A = this chain, B = another copy of it.
């Protein structure tokens, strides 16, 4: 099968740009699709072709399978890359591509379907010999629960099958509370979700989120590129990712890698995928498989010197997997979101100034540009900063250095949270779990606060001097005063009156 001539990218933002970059390096043309809000977006400007889809709401553009496949056909694309999010794990798009004779750069529809269903995915994992959190899922009654809890050991968790996002979970610490807790949980689940199914799982203490990057070709080869540690999360959204994970031994890494490859092989996987595990006290348990490229894939690219999008395209075109290079050093990624660093509240606005970091070991993946509007239609990630160092200490220091170089004006960003994480003793020691963000102290020192107050007074002084100068020199003022005097954003509940 010859290499593709033209790829449609069914996505936007930095991931669309990411795919365009690799395609361009491979000499493959790209078709960007865009919504009303994205006409001037970087992915549109950097692609070789662009097709307008529709309104700014995702349902009118990036989620419309019919429009996307029609655009791919009309522009003569022979492949389609779904990116992440939007339709990337939608088996209907994969099927529609197949029907249209367009290569979907992801796994076959069947693999998406299996991994998209929690119950099916668990079954597949069990069948492939991948460890699951021990517990009782089926034919649950009080007697079976008591037996199961005794077997896995207390504490245990009772979870509502229809729950999610932390809702409908109850922790039980002793056998004598179990049956009563089960009855209560069942009643609660019935009233909250209209579904009284409850299952039991071992309570995993201090869990870490550790995932394995896999890649499979159409010739039955499956490889993995080690792990990524993604435990720094807020509201189940990853904020800082690193590789390697300090908690893994070489033996455990090999076991997890093998488990991930076995699972991929068992569902006839093709392309890039990620198997997510919970790690706790030296053991690992299957969580789920993401059947697409992850946001944090550059962490792996930096460590292995590999281009995962290139591999996706190559295996999609029927080529065999390239050999996996030896990993080197340590890599860290930080996601920079347009959000209030205290309340993780999205922040909208126009980017009026962007200072990008540079120098050794620094990579930035971003589709932001000066003048860009951050709108409410899409997710709030502005950039991914990825660094590489010879070891973990150097990577952390480098990441902090680069984060200090990165300045974004126009919206409030999560940068200070990331910096505080890198400075936190628990992070530096590598001794952390998915709750780390809750415990990080972000209060500035009194000395820094005094400096900030001095700087604020100085800024006002300078502004006043310039305003004075502006009266004298109208020309100079016109060029600079509006920006300088721009009124600050008001993202908070304001107090009016005195």
Interface residues of A (CB under 8 A from B): 17-18, 21-22, 24-27, 46, 298, 301, 305-307, 322, 325, 328-329, 353, 355-356, 358-366, 369-370, 388, 390, 394, 397-398, 401, 404-405, 478-479, 482
Q: Are B363 and A25 in contact (CB under 8 A)?
A: no
Question: What separation, in Å, do the CA atoms of A325 and B355 have in the docked complex?
Answer: 32
In the complex, are the beta carbons of A360 and B363 less than 8 A apart? yes
Are B358 and A364 interface neighbours, CB within 8 A? Answer: yes
B contact residues around A356 at 8 Å (CB) = 356, 358, 364
Output the least CB separation between A397 and chain B (Å): 4
| CB <8 Å contact, A21 and B482 | no
Tell me the nearest residue of chain B to A328, going by C-beta: B305
Among B27, B307, B369, which residue has its beta carbon within 8 angstroms of that of A360?
A: B307
Q: Beyond the given A25-B401, A298-B360, please list 5 additional residue pairs across the A-B interface where CB-CB is below 8 A.
A: A24-B397, A25-B394, A307-B390, A359-B363, A359-B365
CB-based contact B360/A405 at 8 Å: no
What's the least CB distance linking A407 to chain B, in Å? Answer: 10
Q: How far is the CA of A479 from the CA of B24 in the complex (A)?
A: 35
The answer to whether B328 touches A25, judged by C-beta atoms less than 8 angstroms apart, is no
CB-nearest residue of chain B to A297: B360
Query: Bound complex: CA of A394 vs CA of B359, how far in Å?
Result: 21
**Inter-chain contacts of A479 with B (CB < 8 A):** 482
- Tell me the number of copies of this protein: 2
27 A-B residue contacts at CB 8 Å?
Answer: A17-B359, A18-B360, A21-B360, A22-B360, A24-B397, A24-B401, A24-B404, A26-B397, A46-B405, A301-B360, A305-B388, A305-B390, A306-B390, A307-B361, A307-B394, A328-B328, A353-B370, A355-B369, A356-B356, A356-B364, A358-B364, A358-B366, A359-B363, A361-B363, A363-B363, A370-B370, A478-B482
Contact of A21 among B301, B359, B366 (CB under 8 A): B359
Once bound together, how far apart are the Cα atoms of A328 and B397, in whole Å? 23
- Known contacts A298-B360, A305-B328, A478-B478: does B405 contact A27 (CB below 8 Å)? no
The 5 closest A-B pairs by CB, nearest first: A25-B397, A21-B359, A358-B364, A24-B401, A356-B356
Bound-state CA distance A369–B358 (Å) is 12
Hey, which chain B residues are within 8 Å of A363, CB to CB?
358-363
Most B Cβ at <10 Å: residue of A26, A356, A365: A356
Chain B residue numbers with a CB within 8 Å of A482 are 478-479
Q: Tell me the complex Cα distance, A478–B369, Å.
A: 21
